[in-house]
Every structure is written in C-alpha cells, then in structure tokens.
C-alpha cells in the first residue's frame, strides 16, 4: 500500500478571464468540470471555448491525464474523476479547478493510474473528504492522500491495456455514428432545400403527450420501463433513462409506451432537444412524442429538427422557454417529394440502423468495462485469465 502522492503530483490550472469565454466553437476548448463524464472519461459535447489570448504554459497535450477538482452536483457526481485529453485538431486549455497529473515515479503506469482514478471506491473517498455543500471541492493534497495498492508494472500495463482497448472501441463507434448522422443530415438538407411543396407540420406528424405517475406511490416507480424526461435526450438514441416506472405506474399516467424510433422533443426545461427512443419507453409531460401520419420516422426526425430550428430563430431575442402544440400547428415545413423521400430513406435507413446497432454494442461494452474495472483493480479477476 502507498499513497497516490508517492507516484504523481497535480498542477493547478490557470484562471482564464470570463469575458472571453464563449459558446461559439473556435476550436479552442476551455476544459471545465463539464468535460468530465460521470464515471470518468472526457466529454466532448457541450464544450466551452475561449476567444482571448492564453498563456502557452497552460495548453494541454493529447493524452494528458487530468482530474476535476470541482463539482456542481450535490452528490459530487464527477468530483475527482480522471480523463484523458483527446487527440484532435482542437486546442485544449488547462483551466482552474482542473488538475494536470504528472506521474514521476517509474513504478506507476500513467494509464493504470487513469483507470484507478475512475473506480467508484477511489471516487467515494474523494467525495467523503470534499469541502462545500452546494458546490463540492477537492484539492491536489486530498487526491494524493488516497491509498493505492499497486501490482507489478507489467500487471498494471496489462490491466490498463485491457480497459483501454474497450474504451477505444467505444470511441471509434461514437465517431462512426457522428459521421453517419452528419452524412444523413447533409443529404436531407440538400433534398429539403430543393423542395417546393410547403405544408403544415401537423399535416404530416401527430403530436402526442405524456404524463407522470404519482411520485409518492412507490409501486409506480423503479420498474423495468424507461421513463423519458428532458434530461435523457440521447445523440440521437436514448436507451437508459434516469427514472424508470412499473407496469402499474404506466397504467396510472397519461403516457402510452412509445416504441423504438419514436421521436421525442423537449418542450419545457431544456427546450428544443430532439432525439429517438432506442428502447420502448414512456414519457413525462415536459416532452412531446412525434409520430408520422404515413410519414417514416426518420423523416419525422429530420422534419422536426428543421421545425425546431425555425422556432428557435423566431424566438431570437426572446426567452425560448417552452414549445406548445400551437407552435407546431402553425409551423410550415417543406415536404420532400415521394421520389426524394424514397431516395433519402434508401441511403439513411441503413445508416441509422448501423447507428442503432453501434449504440447497443457500446452500451454492452460500457457495461463490461464498468464490471471489469473494480474487479481487475482489486485483483478479484486475474488479468492473465482475461482474453478479449
């Protein structure tokens, strides 16, 4: 047994001026706690960017090991977890409250420490020693005080290699999915822009609602039915929801069980997010379920993205805090001709089937990774017996 501080040190980030922080993607990412996934790992979506001058000493490099020292959630969902800086064309800036880990002791493998700092046991110790109630904070010294039982350097490398191979497969599939969706979106836009038939959105698409079972009735909750809310929008598919309900709960709420490929749009809370159901699920009243009237669900998905984009532009300068059925009823969209719709689906349907298959496989790989991680780290599973 030893302490993490016997093998590594943590460098604080720089206090970048808030005046230059922007949501506009200029390829200069200001790394924040929001870039850490729950469970660890780097989250590229919803980045913040920096438009001012920055010190070169605080530019991160590909594969740098970083750790988050602040968390805004009451539970400290991401506090202390590690991530690796992506290998991309973007510039990543080392912001304050993000620690840069320097592994100086040759007896410790950097990749192994990265995975150790993603174990639930490690993270619980960080949260237990954190300061603050609303915003939780940790520090380099608290992180470095955590004890670790290091196996031999060869075993460390084998364990890290095994887990990294799973994560790399997940990332490759995510990039393939992003690429496929961008191709489908580009094809749809080119056909949409050439269309000359304008129709009412609700002439093509039916708008259905949802509801919530009584929250105090325990028999309605924590069942096997996914329960979609605005927090659960996937990219583009949602498989796992924060809340689940029982069959009895479904029978006591104003939502039907919506099938795979139902289009959901968030109407309140985080407004205007559009996604697809990856498994059958019910839905709360802050969303709409959109089902085509003799219109394929993929077309419903892309028509809805166009309609929501127009609604957002109409609300420019105003608070876009809700979407009503009246908004959709008054919205006009360009309808693809039958030939163009057929041509689009011929290309896009196999693409989205691959996206769905890749997403299901990633879900299985993530489950495998999370199952193996603590067992490999504790020695419960002998790494030499694991073959992938």
Domains of the chain listed by start with CATH number? 2-150 (3.90.220.20), 152-193+336-382 (1.10.287), 196-334 (3.90.220.20)
CB 13 within 8 A of CB 35: no
Question: What is the dihedral sign for C-alpha 182, 177, 63, 136?
Answer: positive
Q: What is the mean pLDDT of the chain?
A: 93
Band (312; pLDDT cuts 50, 70, 90):
confident
Phi, psi of 125 (to 5 degrees): -65, -40
Residues 6+ apart with CB under 8 A from 64: 84, 85, 100, 101
Across residues 91-114, what is the average pLDDT? 97
The residue with tokens 């085509």 is: 292
Q: How many other β-carbons are positioned within 10 Å of the β-carbon of residue 31?
A: 26
pLDDT in tens, 165-180: 999 999 999 999 999 9
| pLDDT at position 1 | 87
Separation between Cα atoms, residue 11 and residue 223, nearest integer Å: 45
Share of the chain above pLDDT 90, in %: 85
Polymer length of the chain: 388
| pLDDT at position 336 | 97
Separation between Cα atoms, residue 40 and residue 374, nearest integer Å: 13
Band (199; pLDDT cuts 50, 70, 90):
very high
Residues 6+ apart with CB under 8 A from 289: 207, 208, 209, 210, 258, 262, 263, 264, 283
Across residues 104-109, what is the average pLDDT? 97
| pLDDT at position 315 | 59
Strand pairing category for 274-277 and 237-238? parallel
Band (357; pLDDT cuts 50, 70, 90):
very high
Give the H or E element holding residue 224.
strand 221-228
| Helix, coil or strand: residue 16 | coil
Phi, psi of 16 (to 5 degrees): -75, 140
Across residues 300-328, what is the average pLDDT? 82
User: By C-alpha distance, which of 160, 176, 140 is closest to 66?
Assistant: 140
pLDDT at 316 over 60: no
Separation between Cα atoms, residue 223 and residue 249, nearest integer Å: 8
List helix spans (H) across 194-233.
Answer: 201-204
Band (386; pLDDT cuts 50, 70, 90):
confident
Strand arrangement of the beta sheet that strand 28-30 belongs to: 21-22, 48-50, 28-30, 91-93, 59-60
Q: What is the dihedral of CA 381, 382, 384, 388, to 10 degrees?
A: 0
Residues forming a β-bridge with 84: 65
CB 243 within 8 A of CB 229: yes
Band (356; pLDDT cuts 50, 70, 90):
very high
Band (383; pLDDT cuts 50, 70, 90):
confident
pTM summary value:
0.87
Across residues 261-272, what is the average pLDDT? 90
| pLDDT at position 278 | 95
Band (318; pLDDT cuts 50, 70, 90):
low
pLDDT at 319 over 80: no
Phi, psi of 224 (to 5 degrees): -100, 5
Measured at the alpha carbon of residue 64, what is the angle toward residues 59 and 70, in degrees to the nearest 5?
80
| pLDDT at position 323 | 87
Phi, psi of 3 (to 5 degrees): -100, 150
Strand pairing category for 263-266 and 287-292? antiparallel
Tokens representing 120 are: 């639930």
Share of the chain above pLDDT 70, in %: 98
Band (210; pLDDT cuts 50, 70, 90):
very high
Give the H or E element holding residue 170.
helix 153-193
| pLDDT at position 269 | 78
CB 127 within 8 A of CB 355: no
Query: C-alpha distances in angstroms, 180 versus 44, 170, 253, 352, 365?
Result: 18, 15, 36, 8, 20
| pLDDT at position 388 | 61
User: By C-alpha distance, which of 164, 205, 157 is closest to 41?
Assistant: 164
| pLDDT at position 73 | 73
């Amino acid at each position: 047994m030893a302490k993490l501080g016997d093998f590594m040190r943590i460098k604080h980030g720089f206090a970048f001026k808030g005046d230059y922080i922007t949501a506009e993607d200029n390829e200069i990412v200001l790394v924040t706690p929001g870039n850490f996934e729950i469970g660890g790992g780097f989250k590229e979506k919803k980045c913040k960017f920096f438009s001012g001058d920055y010190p070169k000493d605080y530019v991160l490099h590909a594969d740098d090991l970083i750790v988050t020292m602040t968390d805004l959630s009451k539970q400290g969902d991401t506090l202390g977890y590690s991530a690796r800086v992506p290998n991309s064309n973007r510039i990543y800036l080392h912001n304050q409250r993000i620690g840069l880990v320097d592994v100086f002791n040759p007896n410790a493998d950097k990749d192994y420490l990265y995975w150790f700092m993603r174990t639930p046991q490690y993270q619980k110790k960080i949260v237990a020693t954190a300061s603050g109630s609303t915003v939780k904070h940790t520090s380099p010294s608290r992180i470095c005080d955590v004890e670790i039982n290091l196996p031999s350097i060869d075993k460390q490398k084998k364990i890290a290699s095994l887990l990294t191979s799973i994560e790399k497969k997940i990332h490759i599939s995510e990039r393939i999915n992003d690429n496929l969706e961008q191709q489908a979106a580009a094809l749809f836009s080119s056909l949409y822009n050439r269309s000359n038939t304008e129709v009412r959105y609700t002439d093509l698409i039916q708008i259905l609602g949802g509801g919530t079972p009584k929250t105090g009735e325990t028999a309605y909750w924590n069942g096997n039915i996914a329960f979609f809310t605005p927090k659960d929008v996937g990219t583009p598919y949602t498989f796992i929801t924060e809340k689940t309900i029982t069959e009895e709960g479904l029978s006591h709420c104003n939502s039907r069980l919506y099938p795979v490929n139902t289009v959901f749009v968030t109407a309140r809370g985080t407004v205007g997010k559009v996604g697809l159901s990856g498994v059958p699920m019910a839905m709360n009243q802050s969303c709409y379920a959109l089902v085509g009237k003799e219109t394929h669900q993929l077309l419903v998905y892309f028509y809805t993205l166009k309609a929501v984009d127009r609604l957002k532009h109409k609300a420019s300068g105003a608070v876009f805090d809700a979407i009503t059925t009246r908004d959709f009823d008054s919205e006009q969209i360009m309808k693809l001709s039958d030939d163009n719709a057929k041509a689009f689906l011929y290309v896009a349907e196999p693409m989205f089937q691959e996206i769905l298959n890749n997403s299901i496989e990633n879900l299985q790989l993530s489950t495998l990774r999370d199952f193996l991680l603590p067992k490999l780290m504790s020695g419960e599973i002998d790494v030499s017996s694991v073959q992938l």
